[in-house]
């Protein structure tokens, strides 16, 4: 059977990022297929979070180009980044809830910023989302009153409020117990089943195996390897295999 070519939702070419003179990415290319869940592995400090942040302009790239849904992102234009950030949700490594706002206010924050929904509509939407991530009835609690697992789920819930097309997951299961890890994996699979594209940065190999369609490895400032699940199972690239077996950091 002839396979349809996958459509590319996000295309990165020649990306260069640096902090001062410290070059993090150099000539990095990456194509993300629409609807896939792409796992991004790589040792600590290789620039996985920086890459996710660069995709939405939180860390500004020093060079290269990004196309999202066939349109070039204008690196110099705050308006262009705002549009990207409306469609690409970033679930931060630490949840990144605002400490001084209740959970409900946290979830409603993006709606205030990007939509014209009324207070009632915002409340209804945030209650529904809390229900969906398995946290019903906690809207009036503050982040400090939540466990780590709850904070991560509430953070993801906030990311989902604007109904993003692409979701960037930065270590969503780090520090979670097995039950919460399972719940987070189920949530990622659920979002994938709804057709959302995801990029998952993680050191959690079992979780990645559970949800990933393709597996990329960031090394030497670029995407050194990228394999589909089938390719990985048939003949894993030695660098990916070593990383997944814990032989390299
Ligand atoms: N705001 C910043 N200012 C200066 N250097 C930074 C900044 N953010 C990250 N770096 C540096 O960039 C490099 C890549 O960091 P990054 O957080 O992207 O790594 P990572 O692959 O996500 O690591 P981890 O797996 O530990 O989360 C590191 O050397 C880090 O020290
Ligand atoms: Mg990181």
State how beta strands 63-68 and 37-41 pair. Answer: unpaired
Give, using CA atoms, the residue closest to atom 24 of ligand 1. Answer: 44
CB-proximal residues (5 Å) to ion ligand 2: 49
- Domain-wise residue ranges, the chain: 8-244
Categorise residue 35: left if φ over 0, alpha if ψ from -120 to 50, beta otherwise.
left
Judge whether residue 65 has pLDDT over 70: yes
pLDDT in the model for residue 95: 63
Question: Max alpha carbon distance in the chain (Å)?
Answer: 56
- pTM (2 decimals)? 0.93
Pocket test for ligand 1, best of 49, 93, 205, 218 (most atoms within 8 A of CB): 49
Count other C-beta atoms under 10 Å from residue 110's C-beta: 19
CA angle at 204 for the pair 199 and 205, rounded to the nearest 5° = 90
Tokens matching residue 234: 């048939």
Q: Is 80 exceeded by the pLDDT of residue 5?
A: no
Ligand 1 and 60: CB distance under 6 A: no
For a mutational test of ligand 1's pocket, the pick from 20, 47, 91, i.e. the residue with the most ligand atoms closer than 8 A to its C-beta, is: 47
Contact 239, 222 (CB under 8 A): no
Percent of the chain with pLDDT over 90: 82
Nearest CA to ligand 1 atom 16: 47
Separation of alpha carbons 131 and 157, rounded Å: 10
- Percent pLDDT > 70 in the chain is 96
User: What's the mean pLDDT when you consider all of the chain?
Assistant: 93
End-to-end CA distance of the chain: 40
Distances (CA, A) of 134 to 127, 140, 141, 145, 238: 11, 15, 15, 16, 39
64 lines ligand 1 (CB under 6 A): no
Bridge partners of residue 214, in order along the sequence: 38, 228
Question: What would the pLDDT profile of 85-131 be if each residue is shown by its tens digit?
Answer: 999 999 877 668 899 999 999 999 999 988 999 999 999 999 999 99
Q: Which CATH superfamily is domain 8-244 in?
A: P-loop containing nucleotide triphosphate hydrolases (3.40.50.300)
Q: Locate the ligand 1 atom nearest the alpha carbon of residue 171 and give its number.
A: 27
């Amino acid at each position: 059977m002839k396979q349809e070519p996958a459509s590319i939702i996000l295309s990165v070419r020649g990306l260069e990022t640096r902090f001062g003179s410290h070059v993090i990415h150099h000539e990095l290319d990456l194509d993300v297929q629409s609807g896939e869940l792409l796992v991004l592995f790589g040792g600590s400090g290789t620039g996985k979070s920086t890459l996710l942040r660069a995709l939405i302009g939180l860390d500004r790239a020093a060079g290269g180009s990004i196309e999202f849904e066939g349109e070039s992102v204008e690196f110099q234009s705050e308006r262009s980044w705002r549009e990207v950030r409306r469609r690409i949700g970033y679930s931060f490594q630490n949840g990144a809830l605002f400490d001084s706002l209740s959970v409900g206010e946290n979830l409603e924050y993006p709606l205030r910023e990007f939509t014209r929904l009324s207070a009632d509509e915002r409340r209804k939407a945030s209650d529904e989302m809390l229900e969906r991530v398995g946290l019903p009835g906690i809207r009036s609690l503050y982040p400090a009153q939540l466990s780590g697992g709850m904070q991560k789920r509430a953070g993801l819930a906030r990311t989902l409020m604007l109904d993003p097309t692409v979701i960037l997951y930065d270590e969503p299961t780090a520090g979670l117990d097995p039950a919460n890890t399972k719940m987070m994996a189920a949530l990622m699979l659920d979002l994938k089943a709804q057709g959302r594209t995801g990029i998952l940065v993680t050191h959690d190999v079992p979780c990645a195996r559970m949800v990933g369609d393709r597996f990329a490895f960031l090394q030497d400032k670029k995407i050194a390897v990228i394999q589909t699940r089938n390719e990985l199972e048939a003949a894993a690239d030695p660098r990916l295999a070593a990383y997944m077996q814990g032989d390299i950091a």
